[in-house]
Amino acid sequence: MNPPAAVMPTRPLGRTGLNVSTLGFGAAGIGNLGYAGSDLAAARAVDVAWEAGIRHFDTAPHYGLGLSERRLGAALRAHPRDAYVLSTKVGRLLRPHPAPTGSDLAAGGFDVPDDLVRVWDFTAAGVARSIEESLTRLGVDRIDIVYVHDPDDAVDEAVSQAIPALIALREQGVIRAVGVGMNQWQAPLRMVLETDLDVVMLAGRYTLLDRSGEHLLDECERRGVAVVAAAPFNSGILARPWPVEGGNFNYAPASDRVLWQARRLAETCREHETALPVAALQFPLRHPAVAAVVSGMRSAEHVDAAVAGMRTPVPAGLWQAAG
């Protein structure tokens, strides 16, 4: 008989009625982000996450041209649908590639065949098609949270079409929560002010190193909008106890100044007998608007490290010293 799954703390997701585990499983990696992995390794990662008490899973069509959704859905099929919170995204439809090159690495960053191509679509019709296709790839009957994904060059369209379409689906009971997921804070702030969003997934803009999104989080707190903090390691620079030269910051090599700042944080962590990745993982949860941290987990080892990082006590003095 298998031992019972561990319990992960949960927090309310704003006013949605959903509760999410404070550590979420980011499924870009199991879509072969950067390099290929096996179906077996992906399934094992999800299984280990479940055993650790993670009940919050995030994916997107963009991740591996649908591979992440397919793998995540297959791995979750053994578990009751009511037992976890599932999110995916809209904004990129997947369509047959008219001139495939053999790999998506150069164009999209995923080590998968590029027999499909991403087509930007933030229209109401595009939103409906995207959700229908995601349901098929995931093999589920419903999605809890739907984020408008990276509308950096289509903010007006997202505000006037995509978000209202999702709100209509929420009002019909088709989805539970409407969100936006971006790597910047300015456009989400406008959306929080102008629309009826439930949640913002903010990637890399409220971390131990980069706190530029704090104004957005403060406004979300005032309005009852939840925040899910993604990319807590700023795409790599905070993922090791000692940041290395050539490490990535926001998907590009870190500048000398950023490396210096990260190493100062690492020194502060050492002084308080805490590893830098542990502090980086837990830091976003200190803001009252943040319901969860979503970290990329492509292997059982990544899951184990993230779970251990969330469960490691961090002395209050570290937070004071880190500012």
What's the number of CA atoms in the CB half-sphere (13 Å) around residue 171? Answer: 8
Asked if 147 and 181 count as a contact pair (C-beta separation under 8 A), the reply is yes
Q: What is the SS3 assignment for 90?
A: strand
Instruction: Give me the active site residues, please.
Output: 63
Separation of alpha carbons 7 and 310, rounded Å: 12
Report CA-CA distances (Å) from 32 to 58, 90, 111, 306: 15, 20, 5, 19
Measured distance between the N- and C-terminal CA atoms of the chain, rounded to whole angstroms: 47
Separation of alpha carbons 87 and 64, rounded Å: 16
Strand partners, 202: 182, 229
Report CA-CA distances (Å) from 305 to 145, 189, 297, 300, 302: 26, 32, 9, 9, 5
Residue the block writes with tokens 């959903």? 18
